[in-house]
Amino acid sequence: MLDIQLCAAAVLGDTLSGGNLSTAFEEGFRRHPSLSPGERAAVREICYEGLRSLGLLEAQLGKLLLTPVRHAGLRSLLLVGLAQLQFTRAKPYAIVDHAVRAAERLGQPAARGLVNAVLRNFLRRQRDLGRDAWTTPEARHGFPAWWLGRLREQYPGEWEAVVAAQNRHPPMTLRVNRRRTTVAACLERLAQAGIEARWLGEAAVRIDPRPVSEVPGFAEGMVSVQDAGAQWAARLLDVADGQRILDACAAPGGKTGHLLEVAEADVVALDNDSARLGRVRENLDRLGLRAALSCGDAADPPSWWDGRPFQRILLDAPCSASGVARRQPDVRWNRRPSDLAKFAARQGELLDGVWQVLESSGKLLYATCSVFRDENESTVEAFLARHPDARAVAFPSGSPEGGRLRPDDDHDGFFYALLEKR
């Protein structure tokens, strides 16, 4: 457990200093190469739960300390210990004992008594320091006050349900590759493997989370892992065989693969990161599908466009990731209100860029995994005001109302808008 705590503290510390959680995991596991797969999973559990409940942990630590802890690594270790005591099944005495030893490994032997006192004091006062004891929004809801204020404003009757969904474990959803198999066959194969599954509609099948290596048919390209909300993109773009389709901001390629599963089309997968384009190719190879890969900035067509217009364009724009905060719990603490305007400006640039390569009467699907209006309706309204040759197209019956998918037990939060070039 000692290395688990040290690794988790390092990951948490790197993330809270503004780093990306995925990158922090990679660096943490590089520093602790002896961790087994099970121990790495434990590190992930501690960090995910710790970040979802960071407001609570920090409030508890503030009550348990007489003076602030200035050593960043030691403070992260205390947060890890509090997270373990509340959100894992590890024995409390083992958590405390190993945390005391971990303090020495951090070069803080004088803090052994402090770590022991703080964690044991929490165990004595746990009932009085639980989530229900706090009135601050960060401690009660696990999100910054500004974030919660935006949700209250935009979802006045539903914001608490949105927050609750974002604090639960995310679902694991498969997308059945209907070029290779059927939903019925997939469900049967899962049942034979002893995996409970639930069909969510179209090609989406939900199962209990597990490594992809344990998912029947994944390696053979029969299924992919893709949130049910993300699977709406290929359905809403209204694609057909023979069309030329641009998947802008394509990496890591989940939506690219889905487009090719839906239609026999000429797809160009564009991304401005050559390394991430490699992941697109890996995903397509696993699925047995082919697309033209192009590296370039979607906002600057002259740098990559060959002059042939597209009948359909999918723009899955970079955003705050506020709709997937349960999968990326670091974003709730590392985002700032001013970031939304920056994302909206970039989204506008991307829309203006790809609009140039869309043929007349063609359609563009704008998509984000954000729940904030700044990046969604406001961005689309501003685009329509700049482009009189654009009009918003209503989605068919049964589609997400207003293009919005609020996070719930079955899917993350997404926004979609379909635009037609007149």
> End-to-end CA distance of the chain, in Å?
62
Calpha distance 153→395 (Å, rounded): 25
Cis peptide before 407 (omega within 30 of 0): no
Catalytic-residue membership of 295: no
Comparing C-alpha atoms, which of 231, 264, 269, 232 is closest to residue 252?
A: 269
In 3D, which of 369, 370, 315, 375 has the Cα closest to residue 343? Answer: 375
The active-site residue, picked from 7, 249, 319, 369, is: 369
Q: Return d(Cα 339, Cα 341) in angstroms, integer.
A: 5
238, amino acid identity: D
- Rounded CA gap, 315 and 249, in Å? 7
User: CA–CA separation, 258 vs 414, rounded Å?
Assistant: 17
Can you tell me whether residue 392 is helix, strand or coil?
strand
Give bridge partners of residue 230 from the DSSP assignment: none
Contacts of 5 (CB under 8 A, 6+ apart): 77, 80, 81, 84, 95, 98, 99, 102
Q: Kindly give the interhelix angle for 2-16 and 72-87, rounded to the nearest 10 degrees.
A: 120
Q: How far apart are CA 224 and CA 333, in angstroms?
A: 30
Which amino acids are annotated catalytic?
A: 369
